[in-house]
Chains A and B, each alone.
Chain A
Amino acid sequence: MLELRLVQGNLLKKVLEAVKDLVTDANFDCSSTGFSLQAMDSSHVALVALLLRSEGFEHYRCDRNVSMGMNLNNMAKMLKCAGNDDIVTIKADDGSDTVTFMFESPNQDKIADFEMKLMDIDSEHLGIPEAEYHAIVRMPSSEFARICKDLSSIGDTVVISVTKEGVKFSTRGDIGNANVVCRQNTTVDKPEESTTIEMHEPVSLTFALRYMNSFTKATPLSSTVTISLSSELPVVVEYKIAEMGYIRFYLAPKIED
């Protein structure tokens, strides 16, 4: 028996919007730790890891570890039917081949049940080693989204370089090239508007903008994004989910042949 009640049901709606274009089918794992997902895109270039900790749910019952295979587009369709202020409960019986999403309006005057078929998905859980990053950039998530969108109208790849000067996002394409430099800026009143750069070593890596743009669909989940870079390692683009956990996107770099 599994029953997870999330008062902020719109978090789950936002999570689905953030991952459904990157990953088609995925197993959601439920354990005493929380509700999680790890999945790669079909080209095995990017990986998404989601964790919603059990403490973040108003009610969390998970009698045994379960893995539920879901088509993310279908799940998103169902969650779109929940109101933004609705309380969402995820329910599944042991051994059942369906999952039920229950939506309750805040004043309890409307209750809806949406039952979705589960699927068998063969997926490998990859071991993600702990890494020391050469540079960690924390910036407003809307700013990062804007940069990725702007640069993708010029080129297909982005070079992210971190030096003492700041973080530089560069692209080049047939019509020309573009560079956006963001400097550390902690003087603004609101911490969510600041940019901080923690650099141990300068680093410069190239990534496909198509994936970066896909990651920015998680922007509504968090006002800030953390970009962790190390040469020869996938970049980690992390959006913290307040009081609940995180969504992390890992993207393999492009390298010179």
Chain B
Amino acid sequence: MQRQKSILSFFQRP
């Protein structure tokens, strides 16, 4: 099974 990562897990919130 493949899981879609969220872009938020790579880029920092301010």
Contacts and interface: CB of A to CB of B under 8 A. Distances in A.
A46 B7 contact: yes
A246 B5 CA distance: 25
A245 interface: no
A246 B12 CA distance: 21
Contact of B11 (A45, A127, A256): A127
Q: Which 8 A-B residue pairings sit nearest by Cβ, starting from the closest?
A: A126-B11, A252-B5, A127-B12, A254-B2, A257-B1, A252-B7, A257-B3, A44-B6
Contacts of B8: 40, 44, 126
Given A45-B4, A126-B13, 13 more contacts: A40-B7, A40-B8, A43-B6, A44-B6, A45-B7, A47-B11, A124-B13, A127-B12, A128-B11, A208-B4, A252-B9, A252-B10, A257-B1
Contacts of B3: 254-257
Interface in A13-63: 40, 43-47
Contact of A129 (B1, B12, B13): B12
Contacts of A45: 4-7
B13 A255 contact: no
Contact of A157 (B1, B2, B10): B2
Given A206-B2, A255-B2, A127 B7 contact: no
Interface string A230-243: 00011000000000
